[in-house]
Amino acid sequence: MCGIAAIIRFDHCPPSRDALHRLSDSMRHRGPDDEGLFVHENVGLAFRRLSIIDLSRSGHQPMESDSGRFVIVFNGEIFNYLELRAELEALGYKFRSNSDTEVLLNAYIEWDVACLDKFNGMWAFAILDKHTGRFFCARDRFGVKPLYYLRTAKCMVFASEVAAILRSGIVRPAVDRSTVAQYLFFGDLDCGEGTFYEGITAVAPGTWMSIDGGGRIRSGAYWKLPDDVAAKPDFDELYELFHDGVKIRLRSDVPVGVFLSGGLDSTSILCAAARQLGRDAPISAFAFMSPDYDESRYIADTIAQTGAELVRLDVDSSKLWDELTRMVEYQDGPVHTPSALIGFCLCRLAASRGIKVILNGQGADETLAGYPNYFANYWQSLLGGLQFLKLLAQLEDYGGQHHIRTMLLLRRVIARFVKVKLNRVYAYQWVAAMHHRRSFRAHPFYDPALVDSLPHFHACAGNGGLDEALRRSVTISPLPLYLRVEDRNSMAHSIEVRLPFLDYRLVSAVMRIADVRKLEGFWNKILLRETMRGRIPESVRVRPDKMGFATPDAKWIRSWAGEIEAIFRSRTFAERGFFNVPNLLAALRDHVNGVRECHEDIFRAVQVEQYLRIAERTS
């Protein structure tokens, strides 16, 4: 993992080296091991390196091809680089380094855009062809690695972080009120290519962009989730794909660790990694064991099976506000809940132990149906498929576990089915949108004028069946948000996080399985539970609850009441024009006194102000 940046001038003047240095310096945390600049005619490239594979100077970037024609800056990892290197060597390519960067560069030279289909990894890279002036960039299939750009009349600026563009000094964009409004009213973050600043846009996951010598821009998509659906899962095939995904993500010239929550995802990763490394090379497992949500039993069983070294994260609640402030400095935007703090603190703990690479379970919930809300989508799939008897049996099992009457659940399913159908009618959408806009104008915490910045229609999450909900989770929300939060949390401490569950081969195989096979009764993640039978501790495999790194958010908000009140009473907060300050202060008092739970709205308001203050101070 690294930080990359580029400036392309449309007037054919050389880009400012000072601006390139500012871009690079603002991303020092992403790459403290090395740095480099390259300027050719109207294009400049900047790079910050976090050395993971081939720690020598041979991996220095910007890296030029043997001929000197092509130059690359690359953030990420190509996990199948050894196999691709062998393929390229058979075609006559020679290599000066052992880095995956050189493999990527030669793959582009050989296959052009088609090279993207061959990569298994996470990446954001840019390549300059000095002969033609063509600038080419691309982002990995799921958007694990970030890349943003800003276009003005005179130039385009690219960078791994929004903050780098803001600090470049090239332009000072205005706050995007629509993005602010969607976060405050709906909690939406990273649901598209927009950011909290007008004109700064993300390169979409699974896409490429090229700019020729004349400044003409072309772009295209090279990958999407598969549409074909198979009838029956092959659990042995799924495990082989998962096992190989972990195997190639263990390729590293620096120490590797695992984040362990006690749930299915992280336990599966640790057990697979330990099986491959053996007990002679125990892996470090970093865990947050909250006293409010005890998962110690499951973690203990996993440690006993794997022989991993357990490293506990102890959180000092008196310092959490300061931690939150530090985290927001790196985040490129607000976060969803205070639970993001745990990832930030875990990354710092891993870095303090000399770990530079972490395996984590992001992507499993969104592809394998891990969230509780997916059951409602699953029932819609059964009802839509006219599987009435199975639907009743599933509702009975679910209701028995959660103490809910079957007929009550059935009425909810039918009501939701009707609403789904109505939501597909334009006239109903229009009426519903007008109703929502009127209700939002009466929102107690936000200025009524902010409603005018909302999109006319707001898509509701998970309106259809389970397959639709999973695809939306991967491509729109919540996975893109979680990937951004994890990237910034890890890069703040110069750590690379790798995600075996987002190996595109595994994701493709899972998405081809019929959605009605992914949940059963009150059990989530049926595919993963069956795939891991006999391979992880049985206590974890059959646990029905889901916690992840659970945190007591409402309790934390109460403990921060003094700091939050100071923000709400500040002049800058009042002058934003977003908030109803008296009502927010009253809500904070009520929350502290236990009168009503308002921690979500309070946290969103605080996050907007914290982020904008930091962005304004540093730009």
Amino acid at 352: S
Enumerate the H helices of 278-405 as residue ranges.
296-306, 320-330, 340-352, 364-368, 374-384, 388-402
* Interval 23-76: pLDDT, tens: 999 999 999 999 999 999 999 999 999 999 999 999 999 999 999 999 999 999
**Residue 556 domain flag:** no
Last residue of a domain, one of 455, 475, 495: 475
Alpha-carbon distance of 130 to 483, in angstroms, equals: 33
Name residues of the chain where pLDDT drops below 50: 461-462
Are 467 and 362 members of one domain? no
Asked, as a colleague might, if the bond just before 478 is cis with ω within 30 of 0, I would say yes
Concatenated DSSP letters of 334-347:
--SSTTHHHHHHHH
Q: Which residues pair with 497 in a beta bridge?
A: 358
Are 405 and 461 members of one domain? yes
DSSP percent split of the chain into helix, strand, coil, nearest 5:
50, 15, 35
Alpha-carbon distance of 587 to 605, in angstroms, equals: 12
* The predicted structure's pLDDT at residue 100: 97
Number of domains in the chain: 4
Helix (H, G, I), strand (E, B) or coil at 147: coil
Amino acid at 56: S
Helix (H, G, I), strand (E, B) or coil at 60: coil
CB 103 within 8 A of CB 63: no
Alpha-carbon distance of 158 to 202, in angstroms, equals: 9
Q: Angle 108-475-357 (CA atoms, 0-180°, nearest 5)?
A: 60
Are 331 and 379 members of one domain? no
Are 20 and 40 members of one domain? yes
Alpha-carbon distance of 180 to 178, in angstroms, equals: 5
Chain centroid to Cα 165, Å, comes to 20
* The predicted structure's pLDDT at residue 33: 96
Q: In Å, how far are 69, 124, 147, 612 from 157, measured between CA atoms?
A: 22, 14, 10, 21
As given in the structure block, the two tokens for residue 140 are 């990995």
* The predicted structure's pLDDT at residue 494: 97
**Residue 28 domain flag:** yes
Amino acid at 538: E
**Residue 192 domain flag:** yes
Helix (H, G, I), strand (E, B) or coil at 12: coil
CB 611 within 8 A of CB 566: no
**Residue 549 domain flag:** no
Alpha-carbon distance of 269 to 259, in angstroms, equals: 9
Helix (H, G, I), strand (E, B) or coil at 251: coil
Query: Which run of H or E residues covers position 157?
Result: strand 155-159
* The predicted structure's pLDDT at residue 294: 78
Are 469 and 506 members of one domain? no
256-259 and 70-78: which strand pairing? unpaired
Of the candidates 272, 323, 29, the one whose C-alpha atom is nearest the C-alpha of residue 164 is: 29
**Residue 284 domain flag:** yes
Are 96 and 123 members of one domain? yes
Backbone angles phi, psi at 299, to 5 degrees: -65, -40
* The predicted structure's pLDDT at residue 547: 60
Are 194 and 57 members of one domain? yes
Are 287 and 352 members of one domain? yes
Q: Is the dihedral of CA 378, 381, 385, 391 positive or negative?
A: positive
Alpha-carbon distance of 518 to 230, in angstroms, equals: 13
* The predicted structure's pLDDT at residue 618: 82
Are 389 and 506 members of one domain? no
Helix (H), strand (E), coil (C) string for 519-576: CECCECCHHHHHHCCCCCCHHHHCCCCCCCCCCCHHHHHHHCHHHHHHHHCCHHHHHC
Alpha-carbon distance of 397 to 404, in angstroms, equals: 10
Are 390 and 463 members of one domain? yes
Amino acid at 608: V
Are 336 and 378 members of one domain? no
Contacts by 457-465, CB closer than 8 A, 24 or more apart: 457/429, 457/433, 458/182, 458/186, 458/433, 460/423, 462/373, 462/374, 462/376, 462/377, 463/419, 463/420, 463/423, 464/377, 464/380, 464/384, 464/420, 465/377, 465/378, 465/380, 465/381, 465/384, 465/515
As given in the structure block, the two tokens for residue 415 are 């009501």
What torsion, rounded to 10 degrees, do the Cα atoms 232, 386, 461, 365 define?
A: -30
* The predicted structure's pLDDT at residue 457: 64
As given in the structure block, the two tokens for residue 131 are 């002969």
What CATH number has the domain bearing residue 487? 3.40.50.620
Are 210 and 263 members of one domain? no
CB 515 within 8 A of CB 273: no
Backbone angles phi, psi at 313, to 5 degrees: -95, 120
pTM for the full predicted model: 0.96
What CATH number has the domain bearing residue 180? 3.60.20.10
Last residue of a domain, one of 195, 221, 247: 221
Alpha-carbon distance of 521 to 264, in angstroms, equals: 18
CB 180 within 8 A of CB 453: yes
Q: Is the dihedral of CA 497, 500, 502, 503 positive or negative?
A: positive
Which stretches does DSSP call E strand in 411-503?
496-498
* Interval 205-224: pLDDT, tens: 999 999 998 889 999 999 99
Domain of 481 in residue numbering reads as 235-368+477-541
> Number of helices (H) and strands (E), helices first, in the chain?
25, 17
**Residue 590 domain flag:** yes
**Residue 176 domain flag:** yes
Alpha-carbon distance of 161 to 195, in angstroms, equals: 11
How many other C-beta atoms are found inside a 10 Å radius of the C-beta of residue 286?
Answer: 25
Last residue of a domain, one of 190, 221, 252: 221
Q: Which residues pair with 34 in a beta bridge?
A: 49
Q: In Å, how far are 195, 440, 471 from 191, measured between CA atoms?
A: 10, 20, 13
